[in-house]
Amino acid sequence: MNAKKSTPQARGRVFSGARPTGRQHLGNYLGAIRNYVALQDEYDCIYSIVDLHALTTLESTENLRDNSYEMALDWLAAGIRPEETIVFIQSHVPEVTELHTILSMITPLGKLTDLPTFKEKVRMHPHNVNYGLVGYPVLQTADIVLYKANLVPVGIDQQPHIEFAREVVRTFNFRYKTDVLIEPQMKATETPKVLGIDGQQKMSKSLNNHIEMAATPEETTARVMQMVTDPARIRRSDPGNPDVCNVFSLHKIFSSPEEVAMVDRECRRAGIGCVECKQLLARNLNAHLAPFRERRQKLAQNPTDVWDILRDGKERARAIARQTMEEVRQAIGLP
Ligand code: TRP
Ligand code: SF4
């Protein structure tokens, strides 16, 4: 009666997913990608481009392929190592949809409609509240448990979904008297608050307040020069307050401690002007991104390579998925 269990992992397994949003920006980098890269040193990692999740809100699928490719390119150029890490496109492993269906049968509808993330989506897309949108967290749970992940690095906004996933796993294992599904832990990504160039809202592509990782140095500098600074500092001779300035926030990430101290000090006594301050930031940002951009360009010279990596990721992901599904079907007693 016991299905062969997949071999327990020597290292813990990490799974995370992101919707294919195309070229990534500094917010994506600081909030997720940087962390994905670091986790590879300690865990077996699986990173998925969740195109099926994207379908819950997408009006057009026209750019889905390009956006998936561009995002994969950014991940790889940023240091995701496909020799160790599995990088793949969610829909390439159709077992996830089977598990989604199975898990949906043990999910009370009210739990889904009560989730703050669902309510927010309804607010944002009142005319497109589809069945798949309600089931979004079930699909996300299927993602995570299909690969028996122990750890899920996500932003704090995803906490309700991870908590939900844990409950589904407990329910499943209890209901079918099994331990085939693994209860995942959330690993909240410590993210510096990355605002857009407007200095007001979170950096996001849809608000067009973002700085792309893959932008040219000239484009990057131009974007930095547009950044909104301390609004109280009107003239060059006005002292500023770096604590309310998004330029300073980015200095703290991309500039040396000496430069950060200098800006902190000189801004307050009008010793440095905002133009000069931004020029320094743009220089440091471009220096930081230069190796990334070089790797990206090399990878992009042969797009087939990236698709090959994604295909290889699919094969490796699918081997795990098949095994899990066998165990799941057996645990349920599906004939
Ligand atoms: N819902 C996640 C987000 O919007 C994306 C996602 C889908 C995900 N499946 C996942 C994240 C599995 C972690 C694990 O950010
Ligand atoms: Fe912001 Fe720099 Fe201007 Fe100070 S000097 S307000 S930190 S841009």
Look-up of token digits 């950014």: 74
Query: Which run of H or E residues covers position 136?
Result: helix 136-146
C-alpha–C-alpha distance, residues 230 and 228, integer Å: 7
Strand 44-49 to 13-18 pairing? parallel
Measured in Å, residue 140 CA sits from the centre of ligand 1 at: 6
Residue 111 burial (C-beta neighbours within 10 Å; 0-12, 13-18, 19+): middle
Q: What is the pTM for the complete model shown?
A: 0.93
Q: Which numbered ligand comes closest to the C-alpha of 275?
A: 2
DSSP string of 230-295?
A: -TT--STTS---GGG-HHHHHHHHHS-HHHHHHHHHHHHTT-S-HHHHHHHHHHHHHHHHHHHHHH
pLDDT single digits (tens) 114-163: 999 999 999 988 988 999 999 999 999 999 999 999 999 999 889 999 99
Residue 9: per-residue pLDDT: 52
pLDDT-based confidence at residue 191 (cuts at 50, 70, 90): confident
Radius of gyration of the chain (CA): 22
Measured in Å, residue 154 CA sits from the centre of ligand 1 at: 7
Q: Which of 31-35, 126-130, 211-215, 263-267 has the lowest mean pLDDT?
A: 126-130
Q: Which numbered ligand comes closest to the C-alpha of 236?
A: 2
Residue 83: per-residue pLDDT: 97
Best residue among 226, 241, 266, 272 to mutate for probing ligand 2's pocket (most ligand atoms within 8 Å of CB) is: 272
Residue 63: per-residue pLDDT: 95
Q: Which residues of 273-282 are buried (b: 16+ CB within 10 A; e: fewer)?
A: bbeebbebbb
C-alpha–C-alpha distance, residues 276 and 278, integer Å: 5
Domains recognised in the chain with CATH numbers: 13-194+302-332 (3.40.50.620), 217-296 (1.10.240.10)
Residue 58: per-residue pLDDT: 85
Residue 48: per-residue pLDDT: 98
Q: How far is C-alpha 233 from the chain's CA centre?
A: 35
Residue nearest to atom 13 of ligand 1 (CA): 16
Give the DSSP letter of residue 90. G
Specify the ligand 2 atom closest to the Cα of 264.
Answer: 7
Section 106-114 average pLDDT: 96
Q: Is 50 exceeded by the pLDDT of residue 1?
A: no
Q: Which residues have CB under 8 Å from 127's CB, separation 6+?
A: none
Residue 192: per-residue pLDDT: 75
Q: Which of 7-21, 71-85, 101-115 has the lowest mean pLDDT?
A: 7-21
The binding-site residues of ligand 1, defined as CB within 6 angstroms of any ligand atom, are: 15-19, 50, 53, 140, 143-144, 152, 154, 158, 161
DSSP string of 170-197?
A: HHHHHHTT---S-PPEEEE------B-T
Section 54-75 average pLDDT: 94
Q: Is 50 exceeded by the pLDDT of residue 298?
A: yes
Q: Which residues of 66-81 are buried (b: 16+ CB within 10 A; e: fewer)?
A: ebbbbbbbbbbbbbbe
The strand pairing partners of 185, in sequence order, are 151
Q: Which numbered ligand comes closest to the C-alpha of 90?
A: 1
| Average pLDDT value for the chain | 95
C-alpha–C-alpha distance, residues 112 and 265, integer Å: 50
